């Protein structure tokens, strides 16, 4: 592949990315609220649930170290609470705010 083709491809990618960024609405990730909701339902929520399961396993494995230091609650909040909140206590398609009071996710 020639250097000219690489530069041309990079330029096309840059222009496409900049036009996509300009077309996005400020309150959406993809530029379309329905697409945000679909991506959230099909991709983000299952990944969040898997993260909570992995965090739960890690939490149990870390108990011998967190019990003596008194950091059990903090570890549970970070590794289990935050992923569960992000997965289950967030409006569909809203990636920034959780709960009925719309606080920033993870800041409870």
The domain segmentation of the chain, as residue ranges, is 1-28, 32-104
At 103, give phi and psi (nearest 5°): -80, 155
Which tens digits make up the pLDDT trace of 31-48? Answer: 788 999 999 999 999 999
- The mean per-residue pLDDT over the stretch 85-96 comes to 92
| 3-class DSSP assignment, residue 108 | coil
45 conformational bin, left if phi > 0, alpha if psi -120 to 50, beta if neither: alpha
pTM of the full structure = 0.67
Residues sharing a CB contact under 8 Å with residue 82, sequence separation 6 or more, in sequence order: 105, 106
The 3-state DSSP class for residue 98 equals: strand
Cβ-contact 84, 52 below 8 angstroms? yes
Mean pLDDT to the nearest integer, 26-32: 73
d(CA 74, CA 57): 15
The least confident of 5-9, 21-25, 86-90 is 21-25
The pLDDT-based confidence of 105 (bands split at 50, 70, 90) is confident
């Amino acid at each position: 592949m020639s250097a000219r083709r690489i530069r041309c491809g990079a330029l096309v990618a840059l222009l496409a990315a900049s036009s996509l960024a300009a077309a996005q609405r400020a309150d959406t990730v993809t530029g379309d609220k329905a697409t945000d909701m679909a991506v959230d339902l099909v991709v983000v929520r299952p990944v969040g649930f898997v993260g909570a399961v992995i965090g739960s396993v890690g939490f149990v494995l870390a108990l011998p170290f967190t019990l003596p230091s008194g950091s059990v609650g903090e570890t549970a909040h970070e590794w289990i609470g935050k992923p569960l909140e992000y997965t289950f206590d967030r409006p569909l398609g809203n990636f920034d705010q959780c709960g009925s009071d719309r606080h920033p996710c993870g800041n409870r």
